[in-house]
Amino acid sequence: MRRTHFATFTLASFIFANPSIAADPSWTDGLYGGAGLGVNSPRDSSASGTSGGTVEFGTGAAGVVFVGSKISDNLRLEAELSHRSTGIDTIANTSASGDAKATAFMANAVLDFDLDLPITPYVGAGVGMARISLDNASPFGGSSIDGTDTITAYQGIAGASYALSPQMSIFADYRYFATGDADFTTASGTATSMDYSSHSALAGLRINFNAPQQSGMLDDGDGNASTNTSGAHAEPTTPVPEIAEAPKPPAHTPAHTMAETYVVNFAFNKADITEDGIAIIEKIVHAVKAAKVTRLVLTGHADTTGPAPYNMDLSIRRAEAVKTSLLAFGFHKNSIRVIGKGETDLLVPTADNVYEPKNRRVEIVLP
C-alpha cells in the first residue's frame, strides 16, 4: 500500500508545480480561498483478521479549508485540508465505542459549467494523503485500537456556487471520500486493516483575492476614478483628445445625421466579450471612423438578479471589457468614457431578482 503514496505525491506535485502553470504569472489573478462545514456519513467497513468484522459508523461532522486558482474560464486547481470525525456504532454486530477520524491533504481539479444560470454548477476530483485514526475503538476481538495510519486518498466532488459579489461566493457540494486499507494493531497485538469511505455534504464561503473592487467607481477618461452616485457621469473638466481621423470616406458614403445605438450583450454574471460581441464592436469601429466620431460613451447595465451593489460593479466591468476591445482596435483611452448603471436603467422592466438576458448589456450611442 505504501508504494501508492509515491504515485499520489507525484500526481499532486504535477498539478501544483507544473512549469507551464508556474511560469505564467496570470494564474495568480484567479487566486481564491475558502472554507466549508457539513455532515459526514461513513460507509460500513470490513476489518480483516480474527479481530475484525463489519464496522458501522454513526453520522458525524466534516470541515474543509482550501486555497486555489482559476487558471482558465472553467478550470480551477486547489489544495485542500479536510477533517472528518464520527463515532463507531457497532463492530461485528456488537455494540461498540470509540471514534474514527480522517484528516486529509488533497490536490483537487474542479471544472465549472457556465450555463448562463444564477448558479454555477461544478464537478471535481482530488487525490492526496489521509491520516486515519481510531481512538479508543472497541471491541476488536475482545481488545481495542488506539492508533493511526497514513494512506492514499481520493475523492469526487459535485456542487454549485452562487456569487454574492465579485469578491465573495457561497457554495454547497457533495463529496465522496475514500482511502486504501489502513493498518492497525489492537492492544493485545493482533493486526487488522480496514478502508475508510464516506459521503459528505458541505456548505461554505469562497473569497476571490484578486477580484475587481470598483465599488461604483467610474473611469473619467484619464485613468482616474470618480464615485457614481446617480448612475450618470459628469463631463471631464479637461479637453478630451480626439480619435485619430480616418481617411475621408468615398463620396457615396451617406452622412451620419442621426444617433445610432449599438448593444453588446453578456452571459449571466459575466463580463467576457462573446464572439457576437466582437462582431458588434467591429461594426462600431467602422461606424466611428465613417462618422468621424471624436468620443465614445460606454454604458454598462445588469439585470436585477443579485444585490444592487454587485450589479453596479458588474455593469462597470462589462463596460470596461468593451473599452479594452476598442483599445485593441487603436482607439485612444482618453476618447472613451465608461459609465455603470447597474440595474437602474432596465431595457426590459422586471421585478427584483429576475433573470433577463436583454438587460445584461453595454450600450454605445454614436451621436
CB neighbours of 321 closer than 8 A, spacing ≥ 6?
271, 272, 273, 362
pLDDT at 239 (0 to 100): 44
**Chain mean position to CA 251:** 53
Please state, in angstroms and rounded to a whole number, the distance separating the CA atoms of residues 317 and 360: 12
On the CB side of 64, CA atoms within 13 Å amount to 32
Domain boundaries, given as residue ranges, for the chain: 3-208, 217-366
Please state, in angstroms and rounded to a whole number, the distance separating the CA atoms of residues 263 and 362: 6
Among 143, 319, 94, 71, residue whose Cα is nearest residue 218: 319
pLDDT tens by residue, the chain, 367 residues: 444 444 444 444 444 445 444 444 455 667 999 999 999 999 999 999 877 789 999 999 999 999 999 888 789 999 999 999 999 999 989 999 999 999 999 999 999 998 767 788 999 999 999 999 999 999 888 899 999 999 999 999 999 999 887 788 999 999 999 999 999 999 999 999 999 999 999 999 999 887 544 433 334 444 443 334 334 343 344 444 444 444 555 444 444 445 688 999 999 888 889 889 999 999 988 888 888 887 889 999 999 988 888 899 999 999 999 999 888 888 888 888 899 999 999 999 999 988 899 999 999 987 6
pLDDT at 151 (0 to 100): 96
Instruction: Look up residue 236 and give its three cell numbers.
Output: 471631464
Determine if residue 342 is left, alpha or beta; phi over 0 gives left, psi from -120 to 50 gives alpha, anything else beta: left
Three-state DSSP class for residue 286:
helix
Question: In 10 A of CB 287, how many CB atoms?
Answer: 15
Q: Does domain 3-208 have CATH number 2.60.40.10?
A: no
Please state, in angstroms and rounded to a whole number, the distance separating the CA atoms of residues 257 and 79: 59
Q: Positive or negative, the Cα torsion across 34, 35, 40, 46?
A: positive
Answer yes or no: same fold for 3-208 and 217-366: no
User: Which is the CATH superfamily of the domain at 217-366?
Assistant: OmpA-like domain (3.30.1330.60)
pTM higher than the cut 0.95: no
